[in-house]
Structure 1
Amino acid sequence: MAVSTSTFGIVILIYLMVIFYLGWLGYKRTCKDDDYMVAGRKIHPFILALSYGATFISTAAIVGFGGVAGSLGMGLLWLVFMNIFVGIFIAFAIFGPKTRRIGQNLSAVTFPELLGKRFESRFIQGFSGALIGVFMPLYAGIVLIGAARFIETALGVHYDIAVLIFTIIVAAYVITGGLIAVMYTDALQGFLMFIGMGILLVFTYRILGGINQAHQSLTELGHLVPQALVQGGHQGWTMMPELGSPIWWTMVSTIILGVGIGVLAQPQLAVRFMTVESDKSFNRAIFVGGPFILMMAGVAYITGALSNVYFFENFGQIALEIAGGNTDLIIPMYINNAMPDAFVILFMLVLLAASMSTLSSQYHTMGTSIGHDFYRGYLLSGKAGRTVNITRLGIAVTILISVIFAYFLPISIIARATAIFFGLCAAAFLPIYAGALFWKRMTREGAIAGLIVGTLSSLFWLTFVHAANAVPLGISEFIFSTETVITGTWTLVDPILIATPLAAIAAIVVSLITEPPSDEHLEWCYGKS
């Protein structure tokens, strides 16, 4: 079923008018680098929470991980717990205030600059900026895929055209308005997402006969799990996979831990901590961000799993069979088949909002990483001067790269690519980010060691050991004539569980054997004790 193109066109036109108005407000209020980079450091806690949540939860969560829940089941709800406990509570209550204060003391306007100034290293700032600029387009590409897949199924628009049109819309207000425009539009989009997901939850349980009946029906479908998944450890959509099985390792190490922990080191999220005026803002933001994440991620995963009941009762097939094996199509196909036309239009806006909020933040982060951190901070050795135009050029270039990814990445890639990027950020940034905030003894040499060890070990494990990535890439096969250089259970372990501890050990050991930072520098970073 496809919704009326004319009806949707009218709705989307109104929506875009509001979005561009907010983008224009951001443009008018962007007078200096601080405005473009960190929204003038005067963002309201409510805007912070919605912007953070809308950036965190994208089509990767709703379409990608919702589709994975349709395949693997409700065990993904543990990721919701991690999202709230780590991504909201620990992030806002512990990491946020420290990041805000140190960022303000150092006059840092980007995440790489915060690390670079704390450790007095242009290399750290430049390397971090380059790492973000090179690898974040992969994450942006899969967010584009999520939005374009839904547009494709709902309106019957060719996928390639959907990607192109959607990209142009997002690019228009990000390039001009900076972070102020991004956060204003994020707040509106977050509100739409919350309303839409709430309605989806109510409709789903209503269609399936209520909460108890829906979950009971899903449990009774356990015998329909495909044999290949059963052999991998799948025990039904309302049960966790068999302990230690390949699917268990994928769900726990790659999805739950990879994304759940990796969120703390996401540059596009950490920079939001530097946009508020006081530490009190974070306490207020927790009470908005927690329920928001619960509604966004929780509803997506519940709906994805329960779609099996709907498809079996109406078409005699489970969700994965209906979607032709492509998990990225499960949520779009469920919405378009099960929901009323009016809600399909509303959910289209929800997905557009989810994609636009995340993409706008990604594009802004990639642009600042290239323009401000790599170009100015490293290549120009931090020389004074405005870099907004270079940043805008960086945004344009990374947008082009992400579009190329969206055209050529394989099916069922959204959740896996998200976990790859989150895991890489955790390995490369989390140990030295935590050290920058909480351990004054961490040295420049220790931070550089942690950054390099985390990056290289994560990429090595992805390429040569972790079978889910190494086998499709084929690099290990090409070089060593073997799919993975290690065999056995190790090939199931996600890089985050290997690379992040290695990076932390390297940072700690090297810091302890090198000269500590000067008291003057520490006072500049943390203020007087």
Structure 2
Amino acid sequence: MVSIGIVFLVVFLALMTGIGIWGMRKTKTLGDFFLGGRTMGPWVSAVAYGTSYFSAVIFIGFAGAQGWQFGLNALWIALGNALIGACAAWVVLARRTRRMTQNLDAMTMPEFLQKRYGAKHLKPVAASVIFFFLLPYSASVFKGLGHLFEAVFHIPYDLALLIMIAFTGVYLILGGYFAIAITDFIQGIIMFFGAAAMILVLSGQGGGILEMIRKVAENYPVHVPPERQPSALTIVSLVFMTSFGTWGLPQMTQKFYAIKNEAVIPRAAVVTTVFALMIGIAAYLTGAYAHVFFDLTTVPQNEAGILYDSIIPTLLTNQFIGNLQLLLALILLLVLSASMSTLSSLVLVSSSSVAIDLYPSQVDSKTGKDRSVAMMRLLSALFIIVSYFISRFQIGFIVTLMSLSWGVVSGAFAAPYILGLYHRRITKAGAYAGLITGLVTEIVLFFVLGSARSPLAASFAIVVPFIVVPLVSRFTSPPEKQFLDKVFEGI
């Protein structure tokens, strides 16, 4: 299987590199590099959104942990991700985001917030939040891929890390968003069919999907007694964090900036929803299937307890044997695809926090070339190198930043961004208050409630600013009508 996997890997990485070189020819301006010139069609836009949504975390760690702890209730996460995180996001946010960012000539979340509210210092503050919390998150994805390569392909962790960083860097630095979108589309196809094959084969080994679901429902209370089962509040907060929480993540909203036109949106919403349903159900149902393929004596564990990150890899290794080795290689490629697509989006958004938001655009007077493109490429390379060192040397406070990342970023941005799209009365002071409130709420509750209840902390961090922003705006001076007419033109 290792030899088959390596062949798949070499072909896959060669294809990604080729697309990066092709994308370089289409990348002339900063807008081309970061948004693909705002020319993305429905299929590419939809799949790019979906592949940025799901990474190796869902297949390796998240699905194993939630599938075992939640049983079939983990499927509520998949449903919420598809209907709220994917479909509703496109319906509610895409049109207004595309039009308003074009009205304001904004390419990033910090730039949008600054121009939407006329807030001089909001952009560097928002850019700093992205830099400090998304960069460590991207490093954690690199780390997960390194361990996957080490376990499956028997490549030393350090070498695996270097290979992943090198190839991600090549197609991202050369081709920018255009290369990311095209590679995301190819990776998305691999993810979709790999996920479908995985769940069909596993279901077939247990008598079909309905029979497997019956067995999970029967075994779950034996493996996880009622007193240890998660509460309804835990399930709801997890669904909310992973579904509505994505509405405030810059790497997700960037996909709306880049679409060709508004006619793309309805088809993209349908494609993204179908994609998210397939990936989410396949991942969490596989996690729940652990209650059929394992019992309390065979589930991966050590003296400290169950090894949730090992449940899915062990399950797949045990079940995909003999003639199924080729399919296992495809599924490993699925995990790799999920991670590389998420990773490239994270690095692009993180590097933009400096190259676009903190570095003024400069056009060479002689050649007419935008020097910011070179700066963006340089910073993308630098951020990838920094990600390597973060992945290689796990420092205590950086690990904490990784754990905080989702709640902090979404809590800081969701309310100022979403309310700014819909309400003319939201003020600069309200936007500042919302960003700071989300940031502080997440950090305080994370340490008060503990990492085990981090979804609840993140949910509060996202919700509280939706109360604070309108309240502060109510008692502060509204923006000028002429300014708002420009912002909301055509909306």
Corresponding residue number in structure 2 for 1:487 = none
- State TM-score, norm by structure 2: 0.90
Within 5 A, what are the aligned runs for 1:1-400?
Answer: 3-5=1-3, 7-72=4-69, 73-222=71-220, 224-225=222-223, 230=225, 233-234=228-229, 241-243=230-232, 249=234, 251-253=235-237, 255-312=238-295, 317-319=298-300, 325-339=306-320, 340-376=324-360, 386-400=371-385
Distance (Å, rounded) in 1 between the aligned partners of 2:371 and 2:287: 46
Distance (Å, rounded) in 1 between the aligned partners of 2:328 and 2:454: 38
Q: How far apart are residue 115 of structure 1 and its match?
A: 1.4
Q: Is residue 2:460 matched to residue 1:498?
A: yes
Corresponding residue number in structure 1 for 2:364 = none
SS at match of 1:374: coil
Corresponding residue number in structure 2 for 1:477 = none
Q: How far apart are residue 460 of structure 1 and its match?
A: 1.9
What residue identity is the alignment partner of 1:10? V
Q: How far apart are residue 141 of structure 1 and its match?
A: 2.5
Distance (Å, rounded) in 2 between the aligned partners of 1:271 and 1:242: 34
Q: Deviations over 1:224-264 (max 9, x none)?
A: 52xxx648632xxxxxx344xxxx52x432x2221122110
Aligned in 2, Cα 1:216/1:373: closer, same or farther, shift over 3 Å? same
Within 5 A, what are the aligned runs for 1:450-529?
Answer: 450-463=434-447, 465-468=448-451, 494-527=456-489
Q: How far apart are residue 396 of structure 1 and its match?
A: 3.0
| Contact 1:70–1:319 (8 Å) recurs in 2 | no
Distance (Å, rounded) in 2 between the aligned partners of 1:323 and 1:161: 30
| Contact 1:154–1:336 (8 Å) recurs in 2 | no
Corresponding residue number in structure 2 for 1:448 = 432
Aligned in 2, Cα 1:180/1:230: closer, same or farther, shift over 3 Å? same
Aligned in 2, Cα 1:311/1:323: closer, same or farther, shift over 3 Å? farther
Distance (Å, rounded) in 2 between the aligned partners of 1:417 and 1:135: 6
SS at match of 1:494: helix
Distance (Å, rounded) in 1 between the aligned partners of 2:11 and 2:46: 25
What residue identity is the alignment partner of 1:271? Q
Distance (Å, rounded) in 1 between the aligned partners of 2:39 and 2:158: 39
What residue identity is the alignment partner of 2:88? I
What residue identity is the alignment partner of 2:310? L
| Contact 2:248–2:410 (8 Å) recurs in 1 | yes
| Contact 1:62–1:297 (8 Å) recurs in 2 | no
| Contact 1:323–1:329 (8 Å) recurs in 2 | no
| Contact 2:29–2:370 (8 Å) recurs in 1 | no
Equivalent residue pairs, number? 479
Q: Is residue 2:416 matched to residue 1:432?
A: yes
| Contact 2:46–2:268 (8 Å) recurs in 1 | yes
Q: How far apart are residue 64 of structure 1 and its match?
A: 2.1
Aligned in 2, Cα 1:407/1:115: closer, same or farther, shift over 3 Å? same
SS at match of 2:358: helix
Distance (Å, rounded) in 1 between the aligned partners of 2:139 and 2:404: 13
SS at match of 2:424: coil
| Contact 2:85–2:242 (8 Å) recurs in 1 | no
Distance (Å, rounded) in 2 between the aligned partners of 1:447 and 1:495: 21
Q: How far apart are residue 184 of structure 1 and its match?
A: 0.8
Distance (Å, rounded) in 2 between the aligned partners of 1:447 and 1:233: 41
Aligned in 2, Cα 1:528/1:14: closer, same or farther, shift over 3 Å? closer
Aligned in 2, Cα 1:57/1:223: closer, same or farther, shift over 3 Å? closer
Distance (Å, rounded) in 2 between the aligned partners of 1:511 and 1:371: 31
What residue identity is the alignment partner of 1:51? A
| Contact 2:6–2:153 (8 Å) recurs in 1 | no
Q: Deviations over 1:457-507 (max 9, x none)?
A: 2112223x12226xxxxxxxxxxxxxxxxxxxxx78722333333322332
Give unpaired runs (5+ residues) of structure 2: 362-368
Q: Deviations over 1:388-440 (max 9, x none)?
A: 23323332333234334434559xx99x9887433222210111001210011
What residue identity is the alignment partner of 2:463? P
Distance (Å, rounded) in 2 between the aligned partners of 1:338 and 1:162: 25
Distance (Å, rounded) in 2 between the aligned partners of 1:374 and 1:325: 45
| Contact 2:216–2:292 (8 Å) recurs in 1 | yes
Give unpaired runs (5+ residues) of structure 1: 235-240, 378-383, 470-490
Q: How far apart are residue 97 of structure 1 and its match?
A: 0.3
- State TM-score, norm by structure 1: 0.84
Distance (Å, rounded) in 2 between the aligned partners of 1:338 and 1:319: 15
Aligned in 2, Cα 1:520/1:425: closer, same or farther, shift over 3 Å? same
